Amino acid sequence: MDKVIIAEELTLAYNKDETIINQANFSIESGSFVFITGASGSGKSTLLKSLYGAIKPKQGSLVVGGAQIKNISSSKLNFLRQHIGIVFQDYKLIKEWTIEKNVMLPLIIGGFDKKVSEQQVHKLLSHVKLNHQSGKYPLELSGGEQQRVAMARALSHNPILILADEPTGNLDDYSAELIWNLLEGANAQLKTTIIIVTHHIPDTIKIPYKHLHIEFGTIYEVS
Amino acid sequence: MKSVKNHISLILALFSILFAVQIFIINDRALQAYEEKLSSSYSMIVVSTAPISLSQFQQYSSSIKQVEQLSADEMIKKLEENVSPKNIALLKLSLPKFYRIHLSTFPTSYEVKKLTENLKKNSTITKVEDFSSNHDTVYKLLLLFKQITQLFTGVILIVTLLLIAKELRIWQFKHSERMSIMGLFGAPVWLRSAVLFRVALLDALISSCMAILFFYFITESTWTTQQLSIIGIDISIFEPITDGSILLGVSMFISILLASLIVVGYKEEV
């Protein structure tokens, strides 16, 4: 199976004295479902940020979707990000845009046809049970609803990889279940690689997954 | 409502700058007209023992525009009753030539002094009257007026630039979140900043339209025309094509610069 992420001797740090991830080696196969766990401050989110190029490796190599993150140019990074869907704990929705336009964002960036984009957005909004709210603005929705919008946005352009940082951290049970179902569905039906950073792996997960655990800057694979 | 407030603050700041720019243009135009008026009324008197032509005068200064020979006939007429015709004829021959010199521009005090010195180098010129004390008073008043208006324009520009700098920080805060989110999904810089430039250009267009309309109505008002005619200056306060283009250009330049500074100063959130 193709590897979508390959990390070799990967070291991540925000400054010289504070190493977050130390000489990690791991790889993630295309189409796999991966959980990254660890205590607060262990470096889970830092690792996730490095996967979409927000943090560059201090040492070692990190290849995502065939692109070396360490010395990636801004145009190549933009291209890579156009094939990744990201879900944040704080949703990161554009407040002055409607729900519909927020979900359409990756399609606008990708230059998709407007009619095709609108159809895709309506389909996804109905999947997250928010079709009736498409004209509203993010701040008019509850936290759970906003995260469902963020989820729809992450899926809208059929990315090769979805990165989710504590996607259900602040959600009610109903919204959390919807999010897990969507992530599992994308993985099972579209073969999208899913990487989720979380404190706790839900018991309801029905599909096989890989589990990486971070402790003291080292990444272990939990069998 | 908040968005309208954000627009208004930039529009007003831009309008203040455009107001200062147009005041500067009007001031410059008025001073130029005033200088022309002064130069047409200012002249020097030269007394020479031999006739001197315009081209000969212009050898001493290219700013000499016109030379007018003053006739001595009226003075001689007064003497005709008491002096014999023979002596009158002798007097006419021995009388020096009087010239009034007009300059193309209103000279500075230094230029008047220099021209007087140059003219005196001609051995036939016996006297140069430059009316320097009168000239100096008018010239100093003109300089004072120039400096006061330049200071006034400068103060307005500094205050409005400070307003713009404050506006820049607000915009940076307001737009950086959206630009950051778009960046996370791979939007190139031009697409991330497209909204910013659109808003900046729209505000520039609105503020320049406001300034153009404001000065257009001022020009049309009879009060303004009356005030200008009182001080004897006939200038156009606002020329729709040239001044309008300058105001639009300045406004566009500032807003594009503002938007570009935000784009350059933008740092991706980590």
Categorize the per-residue pLDDT at B205 as very low, low, confident or very high, splitting at 50, 70 and 90: very high
Residue A189 has pLDDT above 70, yes or no: yes
pTM of the prediction?
A: 0.71
What's the pLDDT at B265? Answer: 78
Q: What is the pLDDT of residues B48-58, one digit of tens each?
A: 888 888 888 88
pLDDT at B253: 92
Yes or no, beta carbons of B184 and A81 under 8 Å apart = yes
pLDDT of residue B63: 84
* Average pLDDT taken over every residue of chain B: 83
> Does the structure show a pLDDT above 60 at B1?
no
Check CB contact under 8 Å for A93 and B181: yes
Q: Is the pLDDT of residue A137 over 70?
A: yes
B193/B200 Cα distance (integer angstroms):
11
| Lowest-confidence region among A24-28, B148-152, B206-210 | B148-152
Q: What is the pLDDT of residue B213?
A: 94
Q: What is the pLDDT of residues A154-175, one digit of tens each?
A: 999 999 999 999 998 878 888 8
User: Does any CB of chain A come closer than 8 Å to the CB of residue B62?
Assistant: no
Residue of B nearest to A111 (CA): B187
User: Which parts of chain B fold into alpha helices (H)?
Assistant: 2-41, 54-58, 73-79, 85-94, 109-120, 132-184, 189-192, 194-220, 222-230, 240-265
**pLDDT, position B16:** 85
Indicate if the pLDDT at residue B76 is higher than 80: no
pLDDT of B75 over the 80 cut: no
- List of domains in chain B: 2-37+138-269 (no CATH), 43-130 (3.30.70)
B188 touches A: beta carbon within 8 Å: yes
Region A130-150 average pLDDT: 93
| Stretch B195-201: mean pLDDT | 86
Q: Minimum mean pLDDT among A64-73, A192-201, B219-228: which range?
A: B219-228
**Are the C-beta atoms of residues A46 and A38 closer than 8 Å to each other?**
no
Q: What is the tens place of the pLDDT at every residue in B29-38?
A: 887 887 777 7
Q: How many C-beta atoms lie closer than 10 Å to residue B53's C-beta?
A: 9
Taking the CA of residue A192 and the nearest CA in chain B, the distance in Å comes to 17
> Which range, B46-55, B75-84, B171-180, is most confident?
B46-55
What number is the ipTM of this complex? 0.91
Q: What is the DSSP letter of B173?
A: H
CB neighbour list of residue A115: distance below 8 Å, 6 or more residues apart = none
